[in-house]
Structure 1
């Protein structure tokens, strides 16, 4: 199997995984936003809702970059993000040096 074929297969599998995760997070958000009428859950649910929305935003961004062909390219400097980083953090938008600068 050529490297290009292997890379394409990895991206296809990644897209399927991200799509599945997006669907799971969407279902979770739907459950969290259902009004249970319990005021004790309101604070906890607010934090879970915010975290779930952030996760959905990251996943949808990665899916957009996959669709546009820009996935795996640092948004700051334009270099390739190492595959090892993408395997650990599939929604990474920056290479490590740029991420460190971005975080300050």
Structure 2
């Protein structure tokens, strides 16, 4: 194996490992947030939160958990970073900004909101 091929493989692998670390960290953050909100929801006075606000925040935390878990699943299956719409690679800068995204910008715009 030549040094150039070895270096190239490390360059490709390195961003994926960093993205995996980011996703795992986000998963923990969303999970901790959902746990915290669940506890607040059971407290008298809801920990100072309005019950409706707690529901919205908990739903957002659940969505974050689901999005992150799906990205980690795609990563383990080898399809991470490939757009689910057009099947082209998602640009690395987009993945760095939003590591859980399953679509490139063009395909994301076509998704229902």
TM-score of the pair, normalised by structure 2: 0.82
Separation (CA, whole Å) in 2 of partners of 1:37 and 1:43: 15
2:64 to 52, 55, 67: 55
Q: Figure out how many residues of one structure are paired with residues of the other and give that number.
A: 104
Moved over 6 A (4+): none
- CA root-mean-square deviation: 1.7
Q: Rg: which structure is higher? A: 2
- Return the offset for 1:103: 4.0
Per the alignment, residue 20 of structure 1 pairs with 25
Structure 2: where are the runs of 5+ without partners? 1-5
TM-score of the pair, normalised by structure 1: 0.88
Q: Output aligned runs, 1:29-40, within 5 Å.
A: 29-34=34-39, 35-38=42-45
Per the alignment, residue 9 of structure 2 pairs with 4
